[in-house]
C-alpha cells in the first residue's frame, strides 16, 4: 500500500500555477487557497519536509474536496490529486479515534452486512430475476448494481424493462460496494478488500460490465483494464427507439465521475417527443459528493443551490442524471431554494426515465 512519501515527486510537480482555482467548485465558493489542490499540495510538501504535522487542521482541508477531479483534468502537470489526497487521509486517519470509528462503520461486519440485508430483503419482495436466458450470440453484460441501487432498487427494474428489447444477456453477480466511499475517507484496506472481492466475481465470459451509476463506473475503471460502460452510453450505441406520447422537455446533469458525455445527445435523438435543453454549467458538481455533504454541509448546500437554479432556468419537465448520489444532491438544492410557487422539474435517473416511454422498439 502506498504512503504519502511515495508521492513526493508527484507533489513536487505542482508548479503552483493556480490554474486549478479556476475550475474548483469549492474554491469558487470559499476563495480559500487551502480548499484547492494548489494549497493542499503546499501543505503536503510541508508535511513531507517535516515542517508541518499531518494534523486535524490539514485533514479538514483534505475533506474540503469533492474528489470531482476537475482540477486534475485542467492541471498542466496532470497530477492525480484524488489518489494523493486519499493516501494522505489514510495516513492521518489510521491512528486517530475518528479514523478507527469510520473504519468500523465501513467494515464488512457493519456496512457489508447492511447491504447484504437489503439484498435479501429485495429478493423476497421482487421475485423478478434480472438475469435472462443464456444464449451464446447475445452481448453479455455483467450488471454492477451499486449500493444505492441495492437499497432503492428502482433502476434495476427499469433496466430489465428496457434491455429485454435488445439482444443482450444480463448477468448478476454477488458484488460488494465499488469502494469509492472507502477510498475518499482514506480507508484503503477496505477498498482493497472490496476490489479483490469484486474482481473475483468476474469469473465468466462477458462483453461489458454495465452500470447505471457514474461513481461506480469510474471506480471500477480504476481497478485496471476492465471494460465498464454506463447503461445510458450502451443504449446510445444500440438500435432502439423510445416513443413518448406526450411531448416533454428534459435537461441533463453530468455527474463529475461520468467520463464520456458525447452519447447524451445521441441517446435523446432516439427518443420521440423529447426535447433536450442544455443547462448552464451542465457539468458542474451537484454538491453531494459522498462524505463531502456530511463534513461540509453548508458548502454542499451552496453548490447544490447553484445547480438547482441552473436546472430551474431551463424550464424543463425533467432533470435527468446518471448517478443516484447526484439525484440526492439535486433534491437537496431544490429544497434549499425553497421555491414553493415554482414548478420544479422531476428528478430521475436517465434509465428510469427511458423505461417510462410508452413504447420501446428496435
Ligand atoms: S493546476 Fe496543477 S500544477 Fe497548477 S497549481 Fe493546480 S495542482 Fe498545481
Ligand atoms: S477534486 Fe474537485 S473539489 Fe477537490 S480540489 Fe480538485 S477541483 Fe477542487
As beta bridge partners, residue 346 has 318
With b meaning 16 or more CB within 10 Å and e meaning fewer, what string describes 85-113? Answer: bbbbbbbbbeeeeebeebbeebbeeebbe
Report how far Cα 362 is from the mean position of its chain's Cα atoms.
Answer: 30
Where do the domains of the chain lie?
4-95, 107-235, 239-361
β-partners of residue 252 are 320
User: What is the whole-number distance in angstroms between the Cα of residue 77 and the centre of ligand 1?
Assistant: 7
Q: pLDDT in tens for each of the 362 residues of the chain?
A: 889 999 999 999 999 999 999 999 999 999 999 999 999 999 999 999 999 999 989 999 999 999 998 999 889 999 999 999 999 999 988 777 777 777 777 787 777 777 777 766 666 555 555 555 556 668 999 999 888 777 776 677 898 899 999 999 999 898 999 999 899 888 999 999 999 999 999 999 999 999 999 999 999 999 998 999 999 999 999 999 999 999 999 999 999 999 888 899 999 999 999 999 999 999 999 998 878 888 899 999 999 999 999 999 999 999 999 998 899 999 999 998 886 767 899 999 999 999 999 999 98
- Classify domain 107-235 at the CATH class level: alpha beta
The answer to whether 306 and 286 are in contact (CB under 8 A) is no
> Residues with Cβ within 6 A of ligand 2?
23-26, 36-37, 65-71, 81
Pairing of strands 139-144, 208-211: parallel
Contact 17 CB / ligand 1 (< 6 Å): yes
| Fold adopted by 239-361 | Rossmann fold (3.40.50)
Fold of 4-95: Fumarate Reductase Iron-sulfur Protein; Chain B, domain 2 (1.10.1060)
User: From ligand 1's centre to the CA of 149, what distance in Å?
Assistant: 36
| Count of Cβ atoms closer than 10 Å to residue 132 Cβ | 15
Ligand 1 centre distance from Cα of residue 165 (Å): 47
| Gyration radius of the chain over CA positions | 21
Q: Measured in angstroms, how far is the CA atom of residue 216 from the centroid of ligand 2?
A: 19
Residue of 40, 67, 255, 256 with the most ligand 2 atoms within 8 Å of its CB, for mutation = 67
Do the beta carbons of residue 36 and residue 24 sit within 8 Å?
A: yes
107-235 and 239-361: same fold?
A: yes
For residue 72, the CA-to-ligand 1 centroid distance in Å is 8
31: cell is: 476563495
Compute the distance between CA of residue 334 and CA of residue 83 in angstroms, rounded to an integer: 32
Per-residue confidence (pLDDT) for residue 141, from 0 to 100: 95
Please choose from 68, 180, 218 the residue to mutate so as to test ligand 2's pocket, defined by most ligand atoms within 8 A of CB: 68
202 pocket-lining for ligand 1 (C-beta < 6 Å)? no
Task: Catalogue the E-assigned strands of the chain.
Answer: 139-144, 168-172, 208-211, 228-230, 241-252, 271-276, 318-321, 346-349, 359-361
- Could you give the C-alpha distances from 28 to 23, 72, 334, 350, in angstroms and in order? 8, 16, 21, 29
Amino acid at each position: 500500500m502506498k504512503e504519502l512519501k511515495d508521492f513526493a515527486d508527484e507533489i513536487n510537480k505542482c508548479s503552483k500555477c493556480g490554474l486549478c482555482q479556476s475550475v474548483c467548485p469549492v474554491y469558487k465558493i470559499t476563495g480559500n487557497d487551502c480548499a484547492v489542490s494548489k494549497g493542499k499540495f503546499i501543505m503536503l510538501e510541508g508535511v513531507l519536509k517535516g515542517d508541518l504535522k499531518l494534523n486535524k487542521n490539514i485533514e479538514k482541508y483534505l475533506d474540503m474536496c469533492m474528489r470531482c477531479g476537475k482540477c486534475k483534468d485542467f492541471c498542466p502537470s496532470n497530477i492525480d490529486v484524488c489518489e494523493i489526497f486519499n493516501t494522505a487521509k489514510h495516513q492521518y486517519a489510521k491512528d486517530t479515534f475518528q479514523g478507527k470509528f469510520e473504519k468500523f462503520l465501513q467494515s464488512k461486519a457493519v456496512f457489508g452486512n447492511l447491504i447484504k440485508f437489503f439484498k435479501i430483503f429485495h429478493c423476497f419482495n421482487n421475485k423478478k430475476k434480472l438475469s435472462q436466458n443464456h444464449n451464446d450470440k447475445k452481448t453479455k453484460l455483467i450488471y454492477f448494481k451499486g449500493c444505492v441501487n441495492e437499497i432503492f432498487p428502482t433502476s434495476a427494474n427499469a433496466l430489465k424493462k428496457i434491455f429485454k428489447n435488445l439482444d443482450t444477456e444480463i448477468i448478476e453477480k454477488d458484488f460488494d460496494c465499488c469502494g469509492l466511499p472507502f477510498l475518499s475517507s482514506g480507508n484503503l484496506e477496505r477498498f482493497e478488500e472490496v476490489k479483490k472481492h469484486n474482481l473475483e466475481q468476474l469469473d465468466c465470459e462477458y462483453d461489458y460490465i454495465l452500470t447505471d451509476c457514474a461513481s461506480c463506473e469510474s471506480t471500477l475503471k480504476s481497478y485496471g483494464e476492465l471494460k465498464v460502460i454506463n447503461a445510458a452510453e450502451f443504449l446510445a450505441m444500440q438500435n432502439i427507439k423510445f416513443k413518448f406520447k406526450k411531448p416533454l422537455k428534459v435537461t441533463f446533469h453530468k455527474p463529475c465521475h461520468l467520463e464520456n458525455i458525447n452519447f447524451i445527445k445521441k441517446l435523446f435523438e432516439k427518443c420521440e417527443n423529447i426535447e433536450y435543453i442544455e443547462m448552464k454549467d451542465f457539468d458542474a458538481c451537484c454538491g453531494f459528493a459522498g462524505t463531502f455533504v456530511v463534513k461540509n454541509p453548508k458548502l454542499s448546500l451552496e453548490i447544490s443551490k447553484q445547480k438547482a437554479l441552473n436546472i430551474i432556468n431551463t424550464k424543463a419537465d425533467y432533470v435527468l442524471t446518471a448517478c443516484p448520489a447526484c439525484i440526492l444532491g439535486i433534491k437537496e438544492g431544490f429544497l434549499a431554494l425553497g421555491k414553493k410557487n415554482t414548478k420544479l422539474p422531476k428528478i430521475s435517473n436517465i434509465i428510469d426515465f427511458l423505461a417510462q416511454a410508452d413504447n420501446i422498439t428496435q
